[in-house]
A and B are shown apart, each in its own frame.
Chain A
Amino acid sequence: MDYFLTEEQQMIQELAAQITKEKIRPVRAELDESEAFPWEIMKVLAQSDLFGLYIPEAYGGMGGGILENCLAIEQLAQGCIGIATTFAASGLGAYPILLFANEAQKQAYLPDIASGKRLAAFGVTESGAGSDVSGIQTTAVRDGDYYILNGTKQWITNGGEAEIYSVLAITDRSKGPRGASFFIVEKGDPGFSFGKKEKKLGIRASATRELVFQDCRVRKDRLIAKEGMGFIVAMKTFDKSRPGIGALGVGLAQGALDISVEYARKRVQFGKPIISFQAIQHKLANMATKTEASRALIYCIARHMDANDAPDASKVAAMCKVFAGDTAMEVATEAVQVLGGYGYMQDYPVEKMMRDAKILQIYEGTNEIQRNIIGQELNKEYSRLKETFF
């Protein structure tokens, strides 16, 4: 499919595809098994300039946008979304800084994130605050030139490995939704430590840990934007990052489809390759159609968001995540079915893809929450319309 990508965008695809082929595919099963953090591949990605795709050139990035980042993520995800999630999560941690930090903060952190010298992470979720972000308990109390953070963040991707953390904490509980604020916390800050590394169903190459704040003192210049802006920063960050989760889904689905078609052409049963059977053809047809539909949706929405300060960003970003995430789960499950018993075995990569895909419907806002967002945005949008369609 020709998506009318620029020469530079095609180069991003080519380069990320080369990294997937030469560096990721050969090690993905081993990293899945050992749950080892993919530092070697992070170094390759850093050296290849891909960490800075969406960061302006003034801060050491490549000056692209959501689409450029999605193109890289999609290609990496064809190999392994554990690795691609690690890559994308650094972007998630960077967006609060990129979107809302002051000039000094941007200068201090973005160049290292863009060069891949330091990984970033995003700390919002807590044990009692998943879908309901307003339930967070971590507090940040002002003390002269410092803020003192206390609380525990849970399931933080890149936790323990990243060096720069964007962390949401309550600064004034009495203000409700306007009482939360974002802070930049660095690995090594006093009172900041990490909990155990979680064992997961999938994306096992990625690191997921608790962030523990015990009287963690950070200077007041670590506050992002103003006190009380926390939830707005979080929402705007998700608008930018969710197409990337969609791109992870497109990549995973494409990876599963590639293996399924190749296998179906070779696997002989009843004297014929199984691709000659309509039952298999229809499965592959649905997998291919939905994968392409996801891709078209994500590229289109990413372009729309890059070109405009889109008022419907929350709605369309949620659409990317929900559609491509559900598609990836479905395509990976079907891939296992196409490969049958072989698909269920760890010798073939599709069982990992099926285990990995599930997270796409859960993290960065469950797909149920995405549908809530889309529904609420539709309600708002139509409430503004004067005309009737009856």
Chain B
Amino acid sequence: MHIAVCIKQVPDTKNVRIDPDTHTLVRQGVESIINPFDLFAVEAALKIKDETQATITVLTMGPPQADEALRDALSRGVDDAVLLSDRAFAGSDTWATSTTLAAAVRKMGDVDVVLCGKQAVDGDTAQVGPEMATFLDMPYATFVKKIEVLDGSALKISRQTDEGVEIWKLPTPCLLTVIKEVGEPRLPSLRHKMRAKKATIPVWGVADLGLAPENVGLSGSFTQVVRVFSPPRRTDRVLIQGPIEEQVEQLFRHLKESKVPGL
């Protein structure tokens, strides 16, 4: 079984600061990490490998320094890594990102399972996994918490929903996005760390993926980030307490005083 895991390098959210004037992320001096949900995807793949003869390839699209994220995954026991890096990929939205990652999975050829984190902690869209599956014409399941390999051609998965847990059988090839319940990510081992340090990581660009430059990066994107800002803190909050009738009365008075239309 060949598992492809898509990861993204993101700023370490524990240390992110917002510039109070520009309202943008201060990236200087902020360490980059593997998106925590993608690390669960790596762990899910490694768990399958613990039980079966799986081979794991980790993929990321990003600038040359995203190589670090791939080596981090290798140091935890992933077999191979591929970096998708090209100036033409800059400015990709989820559509262009999925187009690019899907092309890479297609190029790999023999992928049975694609694993992604449920979403990235920087963009929080949760779109890339399902979009990739659509481009690859694969069945997919999101918010997966447990994966069992039934045989060479099917998986039994449990997915967490607001209502409860759904259990599905999916034929391979398929794509899953996972949540933290798949298991706590293991730490690197010394042997894998040494291998990761020396590993040669292939870099694939637009030409390698057989994509047209206009379909990737900013020009292949339907959306653009115009501005990022943190919403101003709301300070005018009032806690209404007491018996329910009084609460309703107070609420009505507050809304009226605030000149809410229609009251």
Closest to B185 in A: A22
* Stretch in A5-13, A81-89, A230-238 with 4+ CB within 8 Å of B: A5-13
B192 to chain A, nearest CB (A): 8
Is the C-beta of A285 less than 8 angstroms from some C-beta in chain B?
A: no
Asked whether A44 is an interface residue with its Cβ less than 8 Å from the other chain, the reply is: yes
Q: For A23, what are the chain B residues with a Cβ–Cβ distance below 8 Å?
A: 187
- Assess whether A48 is in contact with B194, with CB atoms less than 8 Å apart: no
A11 touches B189 (CB 8 A): no
Size range of the interface on A? 10 to 19
Which among A47, A49, A53, A62 is the interface contact of B186 at CB below 8 angstroms?
A: A47
The 8 Å CB contact of A12, one of B186, B187, B190, B197, is B190
Closest to B190 in A: A49
User: Which residues 171-202 in B have Cβ within 8 Å of A in the complex?
Assistant: 186-191, 193-194, 197
A62 closest partner in B (C-beta): B190
Query: Is A19 part of the binding interface, using a Cβ–Cβ cutoff of 8 Å?
Result: yes
- If over half of A's interface residues share one DSSP class (helix, strand or loop), that class is named, otherwise mixed; here it is helix
Q: Which residues of B contact A169 (CB under 8 A)?
A: none
Provide the residues of chain A in CB contact with B186, threshold 8 Å.
44, 47
Bound together, the chains give a CA A377 to CA B197 distance in angstroms of: 44
A11 touches B193 (CB 8 A): yes
Does more than half of chain B's interface fall in helix, strand or loop, or is it mixed? helix
Q: 1/0 contact trace for A27-66 toward B, CB 8 Å?
A: 0000000000000000010011110010000000010000
Contact with A22, one of B187, B191, B193 (Cβ below 8 angstroms): B187
- In residues 255-285 of chain A, which contact B (Cβ within 8 Å)? none
A123 to B220, CA, bound (A): 69
Q: Are B187 and A19 in contact (CB under 8 A)?
A: yes
Whether A50 lies near B187 (C-beta < 8 A) is: no
Contact residues in A for B189 (Cβ distance below 8 Å):
15, 47-49
Q: How far is the CA of A13 from the CA of B46 in the complex (A)?
A: 24
| A44/B187 contact (C-beta < 8 A), A7-B197, A11-B197 known | yes
Name the residue among B186, B188, B189, B190 with the largest chain A CB count within 10 angstroms: B190
Collect the chain B residues with CB atoms within 8 Å of residue A49's CB. Answer: 189-191
A346 within 8 A of B: no
CA of A23 to CA of B188 in the docked complex: distance in angstroms? 13
Q: Please report the C-alpha to C-alpha distance between residue A8 and residue B188 in the assembled complex, in whole angstroms.
A: 14
Q: Is A286 an interface residue (CB 8 A)?
A: no
A372 an interface residue at 8 Å Cβ cutoff? no
Chain B interface residues (CB < 8 Å from chain A): 186-191, 193-194, 197
Q: A15-B188, A47-B186 are in contact. List 5 more A-B contacts (CB 8 A).
A: A11-B190, A12-B190, A14-B193, A47-B189, A49-B189
Cross-chain pairs A/B with CB under 8 angstroms, 24 sampled: A7-B197, A8-B194, A11-B190, A11-B193, A11-B194, A15-B187, A15-B189, A15-B190, A18-B187, A18-B188, A44-B186, A44-B187, A47-B186, A47-B187, A47-B189, A48-B188, A48-B189, A48-B190, A49-B189, A49-B190, A50-B190, A53-B190, A62-B190, A62-B191
